[in-house]
A and B are shown apart, each in its own frame.
Chain A
Amino acid sequence: MGRAYNTIAFDAAKCDGCGDCMRACARAKTGGEDVARSRIQIAAGSTGFELALCRQCGDPRCVAVCPAGALAKDGQSGIIGWDAGKCVDCLLCTLGCAYAGIALDEATGRVAKCDTCEGSPACVPACPHGALKHHTTARIYNEVGDWEDLFAPGLAGCQGCNTELLMRHTLRRVGPDTVLATPPGCVPGMGSVGYNGMAGTKVPVFHPLLTNTAAMLAGVKRQFNRAGRKVTALAIAGDGGASDAGFQSLSGAAERGEQILFMVVDNEGYMNTGMQRSSATPYGAWTSTTPVGRESKGKTQDAKNLPLLMVNHRCAYVATASTAYMDDLYDKLDRAIVAAETGFAYLHVYSPCTTGWRFPTDQNMEVARKAVETNFVMLWEYTPEQGLHLSRSVDDPLPVTDYLKVMGRFRHLSPEQVQHIQAKVEENRAFVQQISQQSQAPREPSRFAGHGGDYGKGDAPRS
């Protein structure tokens, strides 16, 4: 299996050409201030700012054309390293590279290139505008690749759906000592409960009703506790199975502090049965039961904010996440797994639906990202001890229209409806921020690491 690598990403729209990154690089790499010697080069173009920086290519041409064996890609870090002792200064590498990623440093007469400062690039923190980012999500891919895939191959999801990604990653992370409950919805529809008498997962899986998922899973978990076996009781439910019909059993299990990890894949409607509205469907959205015509203009009520309701249950852990921010999702999944050993953990993942929301199948991550960037959904986590903390800044959001316009279900909106949605986003942001400001300082990310609680005593959960 190949490896994924960390990378430095450049967002030209956020760059104002201040040159701080180049100065930071020059200082780190040459000890001076001469930006001509920086390994990262930003130039003012006719339409904005342009970047020349080593891409650390997977199939690097600079390496292929080096006659001296002085360049090589490190299989572990992904960095293309330059060996000063072997280099003969022939400059052929600069002919191989189509990105100006390796170039002559006139001060030394030798080539120079970015080595990402051994994994903590000096340029990235120097950027005052967030135009440079060091993406370290590769860690997830590399680790997850070594874990066992516990879903059957060939799930029957719609093209472009992110739920298969979510299911596979979650089960890989949770591991084989898991009992899985998947109530009616897209997840069993994609094949988690299997076909023709064969299960779709390599862990025990069952198919409760929409209404009783949390109750059944609580019983299963208690029986395992009684038998002294450590398993993770995991539910992967849709918003319908959690927010509508499943809500009373969910609320009850949360109130009792059942040791369950309850994941909601929120695609804001009953998407696998024909795209009917749910209580999680946002205001103004088209669904098959909130049609758009002469009179009707989509859903007339606002969505129920289920994760905030779960906060009001004072669950051991509540968080919202998005597949556009996998490293954040993984952090939260790790904490939820640990929290579920001693109490009720609730993880709410926003899941754009290419079929029901009507956007091109290659746009899922972009839609998910836009939802977060506009504050249409907010990423945060909550524990009773530490309160609620935002996972990323909600200041300076994009206008909500940037999110609404990337899909068909909002195409019909009148300016008044858009205004309503924008106002709702503002109100929700203010509300969540208020709770977060009243909360204590964020806890250390590793708080839960190695925390087994009083698990394994075989006791029934506290009431």
Chain B
Amino acid sequence: MTMRQTRYLVVGSSHAAIEAVSAIRMHDAEGSLTVATRDRHLPYSPTVLPYVVSGRSSSAQVLLRDAAYFAERNIDYRQGQALVAVRPTEHVAQLDGAAGGELRYEKLLLATGASPIVPPIPGIEKVEYHVLRTLDDAVGLNRAIGTARRAVVLGAGLVGMHAAENLAKAGANVTIVEMADQLCAGYFDRTAATLIEKAFTDHGATIRTGRRVVGLAPSGHGAILTLDNGDSLEADLLLVATGVRPELGYLANSGILADKGILVDDSMQTNVADVWAAGDCAQARSFYSDAKVMNAILPDAAEQGRIAGMAMAGDPGLRRYPGGVPLNTYHFFGRHAISVGNSRQPEHAQVETRFDEKTGRYLRACFLDGRLVCIHGVNEFFDGGVMAQLILRRVDLDPVRERFVAKPMVVGRELMSQLWR
């Protein structure tokens, strides 16, 4: 039997993958295109899952493409077929699952995303715990929060915080345990984190920052956690949300280079011919330095996927990756926080902050040589997409800096309207 063949093989089914698919089809309406994913659903975003957990969105409602989308574009969409191995010299990918098998590709995109990190806490294998990365995880957690009375969330990243909020709103007694000495350390500074923390404690949650869990043991209704200061916590629902990392077992013996993620150049190509990588599994250049970094955020996944798809299809409109800029928004208890740019400020950066206790509005902006490096706000709306462009275009803000810090939204729009005509 001859091996099945496809011109384009996209592995994965979230933002990077679907943007790549759309970029490929924009330029090549005909070339055979296969999407293989280990997930058992149509494409969805990990970012929406907290809303499935809360019950605000149904699992059917959050799908980003329907089956007709793939059928109309002559795309073979294969659910439940994880990538097992790649043999780039032969241009062969091996998929698992009953209908998997070997597939010969001409161009391959690895957009396999990431999986939750489960910390090696003694006893963790003996207790039941949840993670939140897939739609199935979210549906399971949605069922569990209805009955949870004492919930513990490990990790105060955005996933953990979202879930904790939902648990608190569902009436559970929630404790968040975070190793770092503040919440959302990768995204917001201490003042912003304090504002977020206050919203949580106002709603009855307990925050234990600077604490590690050193032991886990089963109890009658769930688990008993032991903290590094000797305290113990009881949980009938335990959520492990200590971050994600890509699972790259399929790279074994492939010759494709990886560090924390798959190393790619500015067109998202790996070190190997005809193989690209994008999204949470890729490690690409940072905008702020030449170092290759993990920038596992949705807008970057979409951008990288688009670039990879254009490169794979030979689209001459391709623009090279400008480097990753962290971009995050966070909505909590009816308030919002926006974070654009590096959360770690470079040396010699000039930092401007303002805080209005009455309104709870907080702004922090960082400048280096007149250029914006980062801007974070809590309850202070500005157009994050405009701010990202000010950073990427290295716009000199010295002439307007005072006004900009006072009114970032208005001055940002003014600069946008003048500069990107």
> Could you list which residues of chain A lie within 8 angstroms of chain B, going by C-beta atoms?
41, 43, 45-47, 50-52, 61, 64-65, 67-69, 85-86, 88-92, 94-100, 103-104, 106, 109
Contacts and interface: CB of A to CB of B under 8 A. Distances in A.
A46 B411 CA distance: 10
The DSSP consensus for interface residues of chain A is loop
B62 interface: yes
Given A68-B57, A88-B56, A94-B385, A45 B417 contact: yes
A45 B400 CA distance: 11
Name the residue among B45, B410, B417 with the largest chain A CB count within 10 angstroms.
B417
B57 A88 contact: yes
A104 B381 contact: yes
Contacts of B15: 64-65, 67
Which of A47, A61, A94, A104 has most chain B Cβ within 10 Å?
Answer: A94
Given A43-B414, A65-B298, A99 B57 contact: no
B331 A50 contact: no
Contacts of A91: 329, 331, 336, 338, 384
Nearest to B328: A95
Interface in B314-369: 327-329, 331, 334, 336, 338, 340
Contact of A67 (B45, B338, B383, B386): B45
29 contacts: A43-B413, A43-B414, A50-B416, A52-B413, A52-B417, A61-B299, A64-B15, A64-B19, A64-B302, A65-B15, A68-B48, A68-B61, A69-B61, A86-B57, A88-B51, A88-B57, A91-B331, A91-B338, A92-B47, A94-B383, A95-B327, A95-B328, A96-B299, A97-B385, A99-B385, A99-B420, A103-B409, A104-B381, A106-B381
A66 B386 CA distance: 17
A65 B334 CA distance: 21
Contacts of B413: 41, 43, 50, 52, 100
Given A50-B414, A68-B48, A90-B329, 19 more contacts: A43-B414, A45-B418, A64-B15, A64-B302, A65-B15, A67-B47, A68-B61, A69-B61, A91-B331, A92-B298, A94-B329, A94-B383, A97-B385, A97-B386, A98-B386, A98-B388, A100-B383, A100-B409, A109-B334
A95 B331 CA distance: 14
Contacts of A94: 329, 338, 381, 383-385
Name the 9 nearest CB pairs between A and B, nearest first: A50-B417, A67-B45, A67-B47, A95-B384, A100-B383, A91-B329, A67-B48, A97-B385, A88-B51
Contact of A86 (B61, B340, B383, B386): B61
Interface residues of B, number: 41
B63 interface: yes
B412 interface: yes
Contacts of A64: 15, 19, 302, 306
Prevailing SS type, chain B contact patch: helix
Given A50-B417, A90-B47, A43 B410 contact: yes
A50 B15 CA distance: 33
B417 A97 contact: no
B389 interface: yes
B64 interface: yes
Nearest to A95: B384
Nearest to A103: B383
Contacts of A95: 299, 327-329, 338, 340, 384-385, 388
Given A61-B385, A90-B47, A90-B331, A69 B418 contact: no
Contacts of B302: 61, 64-65, 96
Nearest to B389: A98
Nearest to A88: B51
A98 B415 CA distance: 11
A232 B291 CA distance: 69
A82 to B, nearest CB: 15
Contacts of A47: 418
Interface string B24-59: 000000000000000000000111100100001100
A58 to B, nearest CB: 10
A152 B409 CA distance: 52
A97 B64 CA distance: 19
B414 A96 contact: no
A46 B15 CA distance: 39
A94 to B, nearest CB: 5
Nearest to B62: A68
Nearest to B410: A43
A45 B299 CA distance: 29
Contacts of A109: 334, 336
Nearest to A85: B61
A97 B329 contact: no
A20 B420 CA distance: 25
A394 B340 CA distance: 50
A109 B331 CA distance: 10
Contact of B383 (A45, A89, A97): A97
Contacts of A106: 381
A92 B56 contact: no
Contact of A100 (B46, B340, B385): B385
A100 B409 CA distance: 9
Contacts of A92: 47, 298-299, 329
A69 B47 CA distance: 11
A99 B327 CA distance: 16
B380 to A, nearest CB: 10
Contacts of A103: 381, 383, 409
A51 to B, nearest CB: 5
A81 B146 CA distance: 34
Residue of B19, B385, B420 contacting most chain A CB atoms (<10 Å) = B385
A43 to B, nearest CB: 5
Given A64-B15, A86-B61, A100 B306 contact: no
B54 to A, nearest CB: 9
A99 B56 CA distance: 29
Contacts of B327: 95
Contacts of B64: 69
Contacts of B306: 64
Contacts of A67: 15, 45-48, 62, 298
Contacts of B62: 67-69, 86
A392 to B, nearest CB: 26
Given A67-B45, A91-B331, A109-B334, A100 B51 contact: no
